[in-house]
Amino acid sequence: KAGVTQTPRYLIKTRGQQVTLSCSPISGHRSVSWYQQTPGQGLQFLFEYFSETQRNKGNFPGRFSGRQFSNSRSEMNVSTLELGDSALYLCASSEPPIGAGGYTFGSGTRLTVV
């Protein structure tokens, strides 16, 4: 079956702009989680969606938001971009019960803010 698909793979944005990233989970997976990965901070949890509802949220400012659609596809949005938002953004899906089998990650979206 197809893996987790993230688009776009690479993105360059200017400070102050906003960006939307997309994630299509593995068919049948209802949970989608988003992570930010940077060399200094490692993998930082952003949020998790399950059946269109945000179930968990990490410690990120309100500029970071997300949503999940009825087909389990998810988007995350970052508004008023800052240089420090440059990172690899990873989407991960899992099948219920959540956590038992671990995540399947996408290849990520590399965001560069200039």
Partner 1 sequence: TQLLEQSPQFLSIQEGENLTVYCNSSSVFSSLQWYRQEPGEGPVLLVTVVTGGEVKKLKRLTFQFGDARKDSSLHITAAQPGDTGLYLCAGYNFNKFYFGSGTKLNVKP
User: Can you give the binding site for partner 1, defined by CB under 8 A?
Assistant: 4, 33, 35, 42-43, 45, 48, 55-56, 90, 92, 98-108, 110
Write out the E strands in the chain: 5-7, 10-13, 19-24, 31-38, 42-50, 53-57, 64-68, 74-78, 87-94, 104-105, 109-113
- If we measure between CA atoms, which residue out of 94, 95, 90 comes closest to residue 106? 90
Bridge-partner residues for 35, per DSSP?
A: 45, 90
**Smallest separation (angstroms) from partner 1 to the CB of 79:** 24
Question: Structure tokens of 28?
Answer: 């049948």
Nearer to partner 1 by Cβ, of 5 and 79: the residue is 5
**Smallest separation (angstroms) from partner 1 to the CB of 86:** 15
Nearer to partner 1 by Cβ, of 84 and 102: the residue is 102
Nearer to partner 1 by Cβ, of 9 and 15: the residue is 9
**Smallest separation (angstroms) from partner 1 to the CB of 111:** 13
